[in-house]
Chains A and B, each alone.
Chain A
Amino acid sequence: MTVLVRRDGPRNPPAAGRIRARRPLFTARGREAAAGWLMSAPVIVLLLVFLVAPIAMAAWVSVSDWNGIGSPFASGVHAVGGQNYKALLTQPGLPQQQLGESLRNNLYYVIIVVPVQTALALGLALIVSRKRLAGRGFFRTAYYFPSMTSSVAVSILFLYIFGTAGVMNAIIGDLGGQGPNWLDDPNGVLHIILSGLGVTTAPGALANHGFLGVSWWDWLAGPSVAMIAIIALAIWTTAGTFMLIFLPAIYAIPSDITEAALMDGANAWQRFRRITLPMLRPALFLVLTLGLIGTWQVFDQIYLMSQGNPAGTTLTPAFLSYLTSFSDQQWGQGAAIAFILFAIIVVLTIAQRLIISERRAGRAS
């Protein structure tokens, strides 16, 4: 985030903090500080009540045997240590296998959705920002429309599009192919490609070993056909939102730089690669980060469209956490899944930040 902060405006000189701390309350600076705290108190209290407290409660539930009845802090609830995490991470069984499957499904979802939606959003933003394009306002609105529409309506629309006799299969039929039974097809796309190449059974090395209760062969299944439909939906709805983040960043690129490049004889691709893209790095970082976090937390489309079916190939950790808590009343385990997901997101975001800032440092030297 440093990249962004630096652009927000001048920071206080580093010494200011130390000077302020020594000032007593009755000086002007001190009174200012007190007033500042007072003014921000409502927000701080709201954050504590609605953000910090629920997270702390969930953390407690994840190491307790709370059964969903009454307060988690009542006397009948006991701490069980890491038992809920152990059942998910180290003990072979259905909970571990389902966590493994949900992570696999979500991983493929992220790997496809994040790059495609980012590229699409950037492409749309570049097109829409052209000064010569007629009806720019119309296109901007049109591309942003899916993001404004309720995800419930969009999900139901996609249920029809990807139905057995839906629009998608009608188009494939017109082109002479036969569309799959989209939302009921649990076969992994990579498995389908492999079987097309004649590989139908797993090599022993892949079938007999695995991670988190899922064999390596199944880890390599790829997203299921049903998941592809949900991936298409996610890309279609969010590309417009991220286009809106890219747009002002593109407008903010000073035109004199572009003009100078033109004078130097740079072609369109060179201008994009050497000027536009580097200037868009902060926006790109924001879009990638938001995309990464959002895709790992995917819940509503799954809830509305597939409920984890077919054969658990659209199960995601967020939906699994919900199912474990509300359907199976295993609240501790459900909360533990949420924290495992939280850890994954934090680690990936930090890794992403390191990669991007490393590149930046590399360029600067």
Chain B
Amino acid sequence: MRSKIAIAALAAAGLAVLSTACSSGNGFGSSSASSTAAAAATPNKSALTLMFGSSGTAETAAVQQAAKAFTKQSGIPVQVIAASNLTQQVAQGFSGGTPPNVFYLDPLTFQSYAKDGVLDAYPSSLPNASGFASALTQAFTYKSSFTCEPKDASTLALYINTTDWQQAGLGAPPANWSQLEADAKKLTTGGRAGLTIDQTHSGIDEFFYQNGGTVTNAAGTKVDLDSAQNVAALTFLKGMLNQGIMKFPSQMGAGFSGQAFGENKAAMDIIGNWENGELESDYPNVKFKVYPLPAGPSGTHATLSFTNCWGVPKQQNNLTGAIDFVKFLTTSQQEMTFSKAFGVIPSLTTAQAQYETTYPQYATFVQELAYAHPDIAIAGATQALSAFDSALQQLASGNPASILGTAQQNLQAVINQGS
């Protein structure tokens, strides 16, 4: 009998340990409330954590330097964490009740966090809120409230290998789809495709916009993928694939289109400005030029824009400090420092003007922002989008209408489930 009591006592002790362990996450809310109240009286100097996904040592060093400069100016220490898997580590922070004070946030995950109401809509309290390119602001606007300031900008453009171009005796870059197709045909030789694009929605959706189609409605409540314009755009791409004048990178043994372009397995590539760094470091001998994307049949110009933002959780130990830090990071001067350090394009229009004069050869990317559409971002749609990507990969043998129809259904189901 006694031993049974002992077991019961042990079990109770175990449960007590458990319940304290589990409830510690809840205690966070109240403590942060009191600390924000205290901030009004004396400035909150609690240390900040900045978590980001780094593209390499150059970016890590630049971010660390910026954090140091901020600490010097404000007296608030900043711990910089280069995450190996940012989305996962930030999610772990949120579930444990201690998210990083400031973190890189991509548009897709932004949608989830904004929907959960865990992000602070700080841009309204900062003077530079209206200073960003509109495609970027649009990517981080949830229910008409601009919630997270973009840290950089990227757009897709047409990369042309100038050596191949001259050999083929071509003149002006393609201005529309039919010229693109004709040039691709002329540039195609036995071992080389005329054109390559990435076989994902992020590499293909711009053709929908160029053809007068769209991906979702403005409010993001209705998917609009299976329109006649989109089917026509995908049929155009399928035609180029079947002629062999356009190839997907996987057909050429490349991980992504930029690699195929660097290895000159393709003479033209539609890809974003991250390709510049790739070409500089891995393929320094490739001579290339960057041009705006060709317009659709009706003359519509369009491209996709990509960006990340400075996410700031609402519930944290130093909200004012975190917002001050973002304010420090989103000045023209700081954005140009980042740009020089690791090649990103600034998000502020004032800094973009400086970027254009410093790097005239890459001015195209900035100019294209005028007609850029943010890459599709729906809360919880990662898997639906990767299923779409899988289908796009099989485009050469697939049916454009049914690929778009399936993606339409899957994405609409994600939206319906979330609302």
Which residues on A are within 8 Å of B, measured CB to CB?
A: 21, 24-25, 30, 33-34, 37, 41, 44-45, 48-49, 53, 57, 67-74, 87, 93-94, 98, 163-165, 181, 184, 186, 308-312, 323-330
CA distance A260 to B411 in the complex (A): 70
Chain A positions within 8 Å of B95 at CB level: 68-72
B410 touching A93, Cβ below 8 Å: yes
Residue B38 CB within 8 A of the other chain: no
Restricting to B385-419, which residues have a CB under 8 Å from any CB of A?
Answer: 386-387, 390-391, 393-394, 410, 413-414, 417
Known: A30-B2, A186-B390. A71 touches B383 (CB 8 A): no
**Selected contact of B91 from candidates A53, A68, A72, A310, CB within 8 Å:** A68
B27 to A, closest residue via Cβ: A71
**Selected contact of A48 from candidates B1, B17, B97, B393, CB within 8 Å:** B17
**Selected contact of A329 from candidates B1, B14, B253, B379, CB within 8 Å:** B379
Known: A71-B26, A93-B413, A165-B253. A45 touches B14 (CB 8 A): yes
Known: A94-B413, A310-B390. A71 touches B10 (CB 8 A): no
Chain A positions within 8 Å of B250 at CB level: 181, 184, 310
A71 touching B23, Cβ below 8 Å: yes
A328 touching B94, Cβ below 8 Å: no
A37 touching B393, Cβ below 8 Å: no
Residue B218 CB within 8 A of the other chain: no
Q: Which 6 A-B pairs have the closest CB atoms?
A: A164-B253, A71-B25, A311-B390, A327-B382, A48-B14, A184-B250
B94 touching A69, Cβ below 8 Å: yes
Chain A positions within 8 Å of B118 at CB level: 69
CA distance A72 to B22 in the complex (A): 9
CA distance A326 to B88 in the complex (A): 6
B116 touching A45, Cβ below 8 Å: no
Chain B positions within 8 Å of A323 at CB level: 382-383
**How many pairs, one residue from A and one from B, have CB atoms within 8 Å of each other in the complex?**
119
Contact digits for B73-108, partner A, Cβ 8 Å, 1 yes 0 no: 000000000000001100100110100000000000
Chain B positions within 8 Å of A328 at CB level: 112, 380-383
B23 touching A73, Cβ below 8 Å: yes
Chain A positions within 8 Å of B15 at CB level: 48
CA distance A69 to B91 in the complex (A): 8
CA distance A94 to B413 in the complex (A): 8
11 more CB-based (< 8 A) A-B contacts, given A34-B6, A48-B11, A53-B22: A37-B7, A45-B10, A49-B14, A74-B25, A87-B417, A94-B387, A186-B394, A324-B383, A326-B87, A328-B112, A328-B380
Chain A: minimal CB distance from B219 (Å) = 21
Chain B: minimal CB distance from A71 (Å) = 4
A69 touching B116, Cβ below 8 Å: yes
Chain A: minimal CB distance from B14 (Å) = 4
Chain B positions within 8 Å of A21 at CB level: 3
Name 14 interchain pairs, CB-CB below 8 A, sorted by A.
A24-B1, A30-B2, A57-B22, A71-B23, A74-B25, A87-B417, A181-B253, A186-B390, A309-B390, A311-B390, A323-B382, A327-B382, A328-B382, A329-B109
B25 touching A33, Cβ below 8 Å: no
Restricting to B223-268, which residues have a CB under 8 Å from any CB of A?
Answer: 250-251, 253
Chain B positions within 8 Å of A326 at CB level: 87-88, 91
CA distance A76 to B260 in the complex (A): 50
Residue B21 CB within 8 A of the other chain: yes
Residue B172 CB within 8 A of the other chain: no
B410 touching A94, Cβ below 8 Å: yes
CA distance A170 to B245 in the complex (A): 27
